[in-house]
Amino acid sequence: MASDSKQLTTDARDNAGPTGFPWPPRAARGLPRLRHTNFHTEWRTEMALLNSTAKRIVTAVALLLAFALPFLIGGDLLRTTILAAIAGIGAIALSLIAGVAGQLSLGHAAFLGLGAYSAAFITSNLELHFFVALPVAAAVAGLAGLLLAPMALRLRGLYLAVVTLAFVLVMQHVYRNATPITGGVGGTRIESPTIAGVSLTRGGELAGIDFPGPTLYYFLVLLLLLATIVGVKNLLRSRMGRDFAAVRDHDIAAGVVGVRVFAATTRAFVISSAIAGVAGALMGGLLRHTSYGQWGMMLSVDYLAMVILGGLGTVAGPVLGAVFVTFMPEVLDQIAPMVPFISEEVGQGLTPERTSRLLYGVLLATVMVFEPLGLYGIWLRIRIYFMTWPFSR
């Protein structure tokens, strides 16, 4: 009798809910349990990367389209798509330091340039493979971020932005005058990456399959973009990512609760700079040439526009912003004959490039006022509407 009572007590304790009462209630036992994929009862499932069926379906469709895309398009459109994917990697890096860690930086172009020139030196001067140049570019740019990080501890906001902008101007001077390494004003060449003797940028036959143009390079960039997205997503879920957010929200309060502010800021700069270095190397590998004029202040502004328009502090948002900013001049080129004030000839009106920058300014002001999360915020509103339907009407 005592053993039966003890067994009943054990069963009740094992089935107890958060209030100590048996769960599910006796009246509900034996009935089918309702389950909705939009709601979670465990922290582990809620923090999963793909924590709902809809996300898994959308991700699978997006991956399928991404891998099939180079076989559906070609020529200049494929090249622009590759540039957009490379810009997505660089924009995620800027979002990590500016949106997640809260350090406003306008020095992104300098880190991209360091990556490109590192790849050029490794492939042309040392005659090593491009795949060796990628980690070297990340290390060189990361080292530059490590040297710049102490300034972020003493400066905030516009003061830090001015210092990082000065870093861009200094590095442009170095690119222009360090002729033995950078090639000076004329720039330097970056050797095309190859696999089994097949150029990734010019295409060829590999494993019995003919890959036209830069199709293989597209797959390389796509894999690195996916690795960057997954890596940064996991970083944001880790303790380091929470430290970044704490420093962004209030650095003094973060220090009081035990966050090492200097270490967190330094790590954010190093990781962001290293990712930007890889993006710069990839851009140089596609263009196969780099010169100091490519890595100026306006490139930093373009990347800032990508991050703000896409969604500051998010991961998917900067990718959307990179696609938008990269394709905007191409779209304006196509509609230029139909718009009277847009002309491809200088002096006859606004060029597509100037028009795109004008639109960036208007859109940036609009986004900051009406939708701070940018394109990602618009997608979030749409997703929440369908998740809560019909109660969202």
Asked if residue 180 is part of any domain, the answer here is yes
| 10 within a domain of the structure (yes/no) | no
In-domain check, residue 150? yes
Region class of 189: left (phi > 0), else alpha (psi between -120 and 50), else beta:
beta
Specify if 155 maps to a domain: yes
Which of 41-45, 171-175, 231-235, 274-278 is least confident?
41-45
DSSP state of 96: I
Percent of the chain with pLDDT over 70: 84
Flag whether pLDDT at 102 surpasses 80. Answer: yes
pTM of the model: 0.83
Q: Mean pLDDT across the chain, nearest whole number?
A: 82
Domain assignment of residue 9, yes or no: no
What token pair was written down for 27? 């009246």
Q: Where are the alpha helices (DSSP H) in 311-346?
A: 316-335
**Residue 99: its pLDDT value, please?**
86
Q: In the prediction, which pLDDT does 334 show?
A: 75
Preceding amide of 390 cis, omega within 30: yes
Residue 63 lies in a domain: yes
Strand, coil or helix: 3: helix
Confidence (pLDDT) at 379: 79
How far, in Å, CA of 300 to CA of 58, rounded? 31
Q: Which amino acid is at 25?
A: P
Number of domains in the chain: 1
CATH code assigned at 264: 1.10.3470
User: Residue 322: inside a domain, yes or no?
Assistant: no
Q: For position 339, what pLDDT does the model report?
A: 67
On the CB side of 75, CA atoms within 13 Å amount to 1
**In this predicted structure, what is the pLDDT of residue 340?**
67
Q: What is the pLDDT of residue 21?
A: 46
Is residue 386 in some structural domain? Answer: no
Torsion of CA 60, 61, 66, 71, to 10 degrees: 120
The answer on pLDDT for 12 being more than 70 is no
pLDDT of residue 84: 95
pLDDT at 153: 74
pLDDT band at 18 (very low <50, low <70, confident <90, very high): very low
pLDDT at 178 over 80: yes
What is the reported pLDDT for 366? 82
Residue 185 or residue 274, greater confidence = 274
Residue 217 CA to residue 130 CA, distance in Å, equals 12
Q: pLDDT of 302-329, one tens digit each?
A: 899 899 888 888 898 999 999 988 988 8
In this prediction, residues 91-98 reach a mean pLDDT of: 93
Which H helix or E strand runs over 253? Answer: helix 251-256
Tell me the residue range of the domain where 65 lies.
52-317
Query: How many CB atoms lie under 10 A from the CB of residue 226?
Result: 13
pLDDT attached to residue 312? 85
Residue 108 pLDDT > 50? yes
- Nearest-angstrom CA–CA distance, 165 and 274: 18
